[in-house]
Amino acid sequence: MFDLQNILRNNIKNLVPYSSARDEFKGEASVYLDANENAFGSPLDKAYNRYPDPMQYRVKMRLSEIKGVPARNIFLGNGSDEAIDILFRAFCNPGVDNVILVPPTYGMYEVSANINDVETRKVPLTEDYQLNLEGISEAIDKNTKLIFICSPNNPTGNSIDRDDIETLLANFNGIVVVDEAYINFSRQKTFIQELTEYANLVVMQTLSKAWGLAGLRIGMAFASEEIIEVMNRVKPPYNINEASQELALKALQNTDLVNLWIKELLAERDKLVLKLKDFDFVLDIYPSDANFILVKTTDANGIYNFLVQHGIIVRNRTKVELCEGALRITIGTPDENQKLLETLQQYK
Ligand SMILES: Cc1ncc(COP(=O)(O)O)c(C=O)c1O
């Protein structure tokens, strides 16, 4: 049985979190002399002299409407990368605990594990980029705290079989993190609606992809109230700056535009896949549920360098396990995709 108290680090269990001025007084006042801010203002058009809301209440309320999940089940991080790091710091004892990764997958899970001195146990995906459940089950021991599943997966682009993820959720006594950074491009349903079913589920999403706000650095984690409370305790007090909160709130009113972009992008993805298949150096293009495609080629290094020479940058993934010969190509605007195709015509 999953019990949060069993997997929480003792130092976090006993942690007295920092209490900021904005935590201690929440009402309206006319004179704020409590946070050592500059009362004169900011040398900008807009006043940024006050610390931001540490719990990002207004942004969470808007996200709650969009996602259909209460604000108390939402954590916001300085990008999902911060949420990943916080999970390590809250649940994994350095030098003792381990986590399961299923490569090829998003690289930050491993980097974050290494930074936190946490062992990674790698159970590669199968040839068709799905979970090896038996391998995962064998790799789990009493010190396994987290399993990271990226779906749709980066860099392969495919979604991971839903039943397999549910098998892990139902049987693993640690936390299963389902990273849905690319979910807006997917035909699959989000796992957010399973939060009421599984106490050990953390779903991560981000405003960096479909929402077009990578520069603002806002990542989301959705989980039980208990897990969110732990993540809030561990995070730096003012982890989302005021400008990002304001701009995110404004952008989150623009769902129609984002949905239109997603539709256009998916049409562009289909077009690009069809055209790329005509090149004889393209061996395979994997089915994608994301805003990129993984293209297996006869010569990833040669094509990559050729594109660089022509000012076009894609991601060379040929050194990644199970991705030999593969380039990961983000879907661009129609003009950018056309330029990519025209340049590839010239590749010999
Ligand atoms: C699967 C996955 N998760 C998380 C991230 C990072 O997102 P953020 O910009 O919110 O830190 C990325 C970025 O490429 C990603 O591919």
pLDDT digits (tens, 9 = 90+) for 11-22: 999 999 888 888
Q: Where are the beta strands (DSSP E) in 131-222?
A: 144-150, 175-179, 201-206, 219-222
Q: Which ligand 1 atom minimizes the distance to the CA of 83? A: 11
Distance 41 CA to ligand 1 centre (A): 35
CB 85 near ligand 1, within 6 Å = no
Whether residue 271 is predicted with pLDDT greater than 90 in this model: the reply is yes
CB 186 near ligand 1, within 6 Å = no
Q: Ligand 1: which residue has its CA nearest to atom 12? A: 181
CB 190 near ligand 1, within 6 Å = no
Task: Convert the pLDDT of each residue in 104-124 to its tens digit.
Answer: 999 999 999 999 999 999 999
- Are residues 165 and 179 in contact, defined by beta-carbon separation less than 8 angstroms? no
Give the pLDDT band (50/70/90) at residue 225.
very high
With CA atoms as reference, report the closest residue to 144 among 115, 111, 165, 168.
Answer: 168
Distance 68 CA to ligand 1 centre (A): 22
CB 80 near ligand 1, within 6 Å = yes
Give the pLDDT band (50/70/90) at residue 80.
very high
What's the average model confidence in pLDDT over 338-344?
A: 98
- Tell me how many degrees the CA angle 25-28-34 measures, rounded to the nearest 5: 45
Distance 130 CA to ligand 1 centre (A): 20
What's the average model confidence in pLDDT over 284-303?
A: 97
Cα–Cα distance for residue pair 210/203, rounded to 1 Å: 16
CB 77 near ligand 1, within 6 Å = no
Whether residue 36 is predicted with pLDDT greater than 90 in this model: the reply is yes
Whether residue 25 is predicted with pLDDT greater than 90 in this model: the reply is no
With CA atoms as reference, report the closest residue to 325 among 277, 284, 279.
Answer: 284
Distance 106 CA to ligand 1 centre (A): 8
Look at residue 332 in the predicted model and tell me its pLDDT: 98
Q: Which ligand 1 atom minimizes the distance to the CA of 206? A: 10
Full-model pTM: 0.97
Whether residue 170 is predicted with pLDDT greater than 90 in this model: the reply is yes
Look at residue 291 in the predicted model and tell me its pLDDT: 98
Long-range contacts at 122-127 (CB < 8 A, ≥ 24 apart)? 124/321, 124/322, 125/153, 125/156, 125/322, 127/322
CB 54 near ligand 1, within 6 Å = no
Look at residue 111 in the predicted model and tell me its pLDDT: 98
Look at residue 2 in the predicted model and tell me its pLDDT: 92
Say which amino acid occupies 247.
L
Look at residue 21 in the predicted model and tell me its pLDDT: 85
Distance 81 CA to ligand 1 centre (A): 6
Give the pLDDT band (50/70/90) at residue 303.
very high
Q: Which ligand 1 atom minimizes the distance to the CA of 207? A: 10
Rounded to the nearest integer, the mean pLDDT of the chain is 97
Look at residue 256 in the predicted model and tell me its pLDDT: 97
Residue among 154, 203, 213, 330 to mutate when testing ligand 1 (max atoms within 8 A of CB)? 154
Look at residue 348 in the predicted model and tell me its pLDDT: 79
What's the average model confidence in pLDDT over 92-99?
A: 98
What's the average model confidence in pLDDT over 288-299?
A: 98
What's the average model confidence in pLDDT over 316-336?
A: 97
Q: Ligand 1: which residue has its CA nearest to atom 2? A: 181
Structure tokens at 238: 């003012």
